[in-house]
Structure formats: structure tokens, C-alpha cells
Amino acid sequence: MSEREQGARLRADARRNREQVLAAARDVFLEQGPDAPLDEIARRAGVGIGTLYRRFPDRDSLVRDLMADNMRRGLDEMRAAVAEEPDAWHALVRFVRRMVELRAGSLGPVLSDRIRADPALGASRDELVGLVEATVEQARADGTLREGIGMGDISLLIVMIGRPPHGLAELTSRWQPARYLEIMLDGLAATNTRPLPGRAITATELRELFRMMKG
Amino acid sequence: MSEREQGARLRADARRNREQVLAAARDVFLEQGPDAPLDEIARRAGVGIGTLYRRFPDRDSLVRDLMADNMRRGLDEMRAAVAEEPDAWHALVRFVRRMVELRAGSLGPVLSDRIRADPALGASRDELVGLVEATVEQARADGTLREGIGMGDISLLIVMIGRPPHGLAELTSRWQPARYLEIMLDGLAATNTRPLPGRAITATELRELFRMMKG
DNA sequence: GATCATCGGAGGAAAATCCTCCACTTACAT
DNA sequence: ATGTAAGTGGAGGATTTTCCTCCGATGATC
């Protein structure tokens, strides 16, 4: 809420810089994890480190705003997908593709201690998880989603596919998430009937993981 | 060569420690990349930092020995797979499964500057790449491997699937590479006929990437 | 039981990272 | 046009992380 109001009152150049910092943070966190040096984020955003600290007083504040943005986009995309796509399978596929494109998996499903602090974040996360879960179950009922696939598999998919291998991040031209996402999606179709090892993380477990970490 | 002789002459406890360090390095490099702090590797190996430095005078030496070990295992596994499996597809699948199990993707396909230094390493890498490439082509000719898949896809697969998402590394119980590997393998089967975006990195490009990085 | 390779970690040096502060710049209201 | 409040960048000191040596203690091996 606060970041929205701040955002609206910002001077034009300041707002632009803020967006650039968020975009750079998305990339850097995706590549290096949530402990990545803030200096590098500023450098990639093309702003001074002072500018970054002016807008985001500390790391948590940046992480929180980024997560909020990811959640908002995720919810928007998921709602639109459910509303506009002909069935649950196509809604899921569209959602996952968009999330990977938007680098919205940058902070992973597990970032507990920083997330828990903000109740609003938890609420939108729960809503998103609920939507995805319902769609996953619908797709399975339709016989379009492979047997045994759960909501947790979808979350992990977005995180795994979106992250460039070490050392390959700079060579963006050779890193093609979309290619591997499509292979993975084909593996998720119901035409594949081999039983899978393990099982998906459930929404409940996901919430418990949050509590366990660094708590 | 030198690490083999050293290994043989080592006292029993020293050899055990050396193995533990290598095993820990495999995990830590996989999780954090080749710049991970050596202290953490020593800690996870359950040895003092002094012990690590005694056995591996500097980071490069550790990285090189680990790569050498990965290459040796990779070649062994690939040769055995080609010799024992009924066809190219099954050989490929077995190879990839073993590599992920062994965490042999820990250093990724791109780790140029440290690799180039050692010519023996380059040689075994070339041999392994050649074997995989031949098998990939055979499988495609057999009509068992999906159209458009190349050697580079297999390399990337091993790296991507083997790496735990940020923050999930400690919770080994919930991180199941095998599950996602199987989904991916199903996506690689020839029964999937949708055209894929992009294309695989070729062996030649892989070698060029080496030269570009940090060179 | 003696010997000597090996071990572990304290600790100083070096590097990376954090984060404040302020002289300079710029958008925009008037 | 101009004044001015908002915004900017990055130097630099404080702090933390990481490196890597050194040496007294340990325990494997004969």
C-alpha cells in the first residue's frame, strides 16, 4: 500500500529510476539469490547506489516491494488466464509462460522470514496459491494434466526454469528459458502416464516451510 | 594425474577427509556456484579449514580436481551406458539420470578460465561431448529422441535439474531432482512433436563460450 | 610406545559489502 | 524564464565476509 502511494507522488524521473531498480533486482535476485549485493543491482539499473537506498531504505524493503509486485502480476495473470482461456490446462500453461517471461519467480516460493513480516503479502500469496491449486485440480479432472502433478510442481517449475545456470547469466543470447519450459510443459501433459517419483509440495507444506526457515 | 598418485599415498584418514571435502564441494558449488566460500565447504565436510587448504592449495586446485572427477565419472557412466543399454535413447536416459544423482553437473558446462588451464581436462571433456553427441544423433535417427534436441540440451538439462532453488537447498527432503528429471525426460521423447523455440548449443559453440568467458 | 603425517581453528590481512552524507543536477509549478 | 524542492550519484568510512597461514594438539601406523 505504501509503495503505491509513494509511487504515484514520485517525480517522473524518480519513478522511472524506481522501475529500473525493480527490474534489475528481479534479474539479480533470480541469478544470485536474495542476498545478492545491492551495489550490483544499482549498477545494472544504471543508477547510483544512493538512489537505490533513497527509494528502498534497506534490503528487506526492496525484497518486499518486489515480492508485492510479483504477487500482483501473478494474480492479474492468473485471473486473466482463467477468465479468457478455454479450459484449465490452457489457463495453467499461459500462466506459467507469463510468469517465466516476467521473471516473477525471482524470489522463489521460499523466502519466509521476509515474507511473513507483511500480512498483505501473505494474503495475496494465499489467494494466488488457491487459484492455481483450483486450476490444477480442474485440469486433472479434465484429463489434460498428468496424473500426480500438484500445485507445488507448478511453483517449482516457474522457479527452476527461470533461473539461468551459473556463468550463463551474462550470455543472455544462449540462455533460453522458453525452450526448456516448452519441453517441461509437454512432460506435464496427461499423455504421459509413467508414474513419477516423489510428490508435489502441498499448499499447507509450503506454508509450513515458511515457518521453518530462519524462524 | 597428480591427484591420483597423491590419493594413493595418502594416509587412511587423510584420504577419507579428501573425499569428504570433494563431496561437500560438489554440493556447495552446485548450490552457490564456483565462487562459494571455501570455509563453508570445509564446515560441511566436517573438517577444519586448514585441512582443506593442505589438500587443495587454492580454489582452482579444488575446482580442477572436482571437474576431473566429474569428467571421469561422466565418461565411465556414458561408456557403460552405451555398452550395456539396448539403444541410444536408453543410454542417454541412463546417463542423464546418473549424472544428476552424482551431482556431476555441479560446475556447469561453463567454467572456462579454470578449465582451459588443464589440457587433460579439455581432452576428456571433448571425448565425453563427442560420445553424448553421437548418441543424441543416433537416438534422433532411431526416432526415439524428439526432433530438434541437441547435445547442448542434454548438458543444460543436467545442470538445471540438479540445482536446488535458492533457500530450498537445506531442506533436502523437499527437493526432488529425480521427479523433475522424469518429467523433462518425457518431454524429450519423440512422441512430442510440437516445434520448440530456439535451438540447442552445439559442441563448437560450447567451446567458443569457454574462450569468451573471463578470457 | 614412538614418530611423524595430519588435523583444526585462531587470527591477521585483504576484499567485498553496506550505507551515510552532501555537493551537484533537474523536473516542474508558477 | 526562473526558483526551488525533489532527486541524483558516488566517495569513503564502518562493518562484515572471506582468504589463507601457522603451529600446538592429535592420532594412525609401524
Least confident of A112-121, A143-152, B79-88, B135-144: A112-121
Q: Among the three residues B13, B33, B57, which one is the final residue of a domain in this structure?
A: B57
- The pLDDT of residue B4 is 42
- Hey, what's the cell of B13? 584418514
**By the 8 A CB rule, do B45 and B125 touch?**
no
Least confident of A94-98, A101-105, A163-167, B202-206: B202-206
* pLDDT score of A59 more than 70: yes
SS3 of residue A214 by DSSP: coil
Between B215 and A49, the more confident residue is: A49
- Pair (A65, A53) in one structural domain: no
Name every residue in B having a CB less than 8 A away from some CB of A: 33-34, 108-112, 146, 153, 156-157, 159-161, 163, 165-168, 171, 174, 176, 178-180, 182-188, 191-192, 194, 196-199, 201, 205, 209, 212-213
Mean pLDDT of chain B: 87
* pLDDT score of B181 more than 70: yes
- Pair (A152, A194) in one structural domain: yes
pLDDT tens digit string along A157-190?
A: 999 999 998 877 766 667 899 999 999 999 999 9
> Exposed, middle or buried, B49 (CB in 10 Å: 0-12/13-18/19+)?
middle
Spatial separation of the C-alpha atoms in residues A153 and B172, rounded to whole Å: 16
Q: Among the three residues B9, B39, B57, which one is the final residue of a domain in this structure?
A: B57
- Pair (A71, A43) in one structural domain: no
pLDDT tens digit string along B46-96?
A: 999 999 999 999 998 999 899 888 999 999 999 999 999 999 999 999 999
Residue A173 CA and nucleotide D18 C1' are separated, in Å, by 33
Whole-angstrom distance between the N-terminal and C-terminal Cα of chain B? 25
- Pair (A173, A74) in one structural domain: yes
Apex B203 CA angle, A158 and A166, nearest 5? 40
Residue B53 sits in a domain of what CATH number? 1.10.10.60
Task: Find, among A90, A92, A200, the residue nearest to A136 by Cα.
Answer: A92
Amino acid residing at B68: A
Which helix or strand (DSSP H or E) is residue A180 part of?
Answer: helix A177-188
- The pLDDT of residue A187 is 98
pTM: 0.91
- Pair (B119, B132) in one structural domain: yes
Q: Could you tell me which residues come within 8 angstroms of residue B157 by beta carbon, excluding any fewer than 6 positions away?
A: A180, B96, B181, B184, B188
* pLDDT score of B6 more than 60: no
A213 strand D contact, CB < 7 Å: no
Spatial separation of the C-alpha atoms in residues A201 and A176, rounded to whole Å: 26
Which chain B residue has the Cα nearest residue A161? B160
- Pair (A52, A67) in one structural domain: no
Spatial separation of the C-alpha atoms in residues B150 and B99, rounded to whole Å: 17
Between A173 and B204, the more confident residue is: B204
- Pair (B30, B73) in one structural domain: no
Spatial separation of the C-alpha atoms in residues A110 and A63, rounded to whole Å: 13
- The pLDDT of residue A1 is 42
- Pair (A68, A19) in one structural domain: no
Q: Which residue has the cell 537506498?
A: A53
Domain total of chain A: 2
- The pLDDT of residue A215 is 34
**Which chain A residues are closer than 8 Å to B167 by Cβ?**
33-34, 108, 110-112, 213
The torsion defined by the Cα of A186, A192, A196 and A202, in degrees rounded to 10, comes to 60
- The pLDDT of residue A125 is 86
Domain range spanning residue A177?
61-212
**A45/chain B closest Cα distance in angstroms:** 22
- Pair (A111, A182) in one structural domain: yes
User: Which of B183, B202, B205, B210 to substitute to test the interface with A, most A CBs within 10 Å?
Assistant: B183
Mean pLDDT of chain A: 88
- Pair (A48, A97) in one structural domain: no
Q: Among the three residues A34, A57, A80, which one is the final residue of a domain in this structure?
A: A57
Spatial separation of the C-alpha atoms in residues B61 and B48, rounded to whole Å: 18
Q: Return the HEC string of chain B.
A: CHHHHHHHHCCHHHHHHHHHHHHHHHHHHHHHCCCCCHHHHHHHHCCCHHHHHHHCCCHHHHHHHHHHHHHHHHHHHHHHHHHHCCCHHHHHHHHHHHHHHCCCCCCCCCCHHHHHCCHHHHHHHHHHHHHHHHHHHHHHHHCCECCCCCHHHHHHHHHHHHCCCCCCCCCHHHCCHHHHHHHHHHHHECCCCCCCCCCCCCHHHHHHHHHHCCC
8 Å CB contact of A160 and B161:
yes
A175 strand C contact, CB < 7 Å: no
**By the 8 A CB rule, do B70 and B106 touch?**
yes
Spatial separation of the C-alpha atoms in residues B110 and B186, rounded to whole Å: 26
**By the 8 A CB rule, do A163 and B165 touch?**
yes
- Pair (A165, A95) in one structural domain: yes
- Pair (B85, B144) in one structural domain: yes
Residue A119 binned pLDDT confidence (cut-offs 50, 70, 90): confident
pLDDT tens digit string along A1-31?
A: 444 445 568 899 999 999 999 999 999 999 9
Residue B198 sits in a domain of what CATH number? 1.10.357.10
- The pLDDT of residue B209 is 62
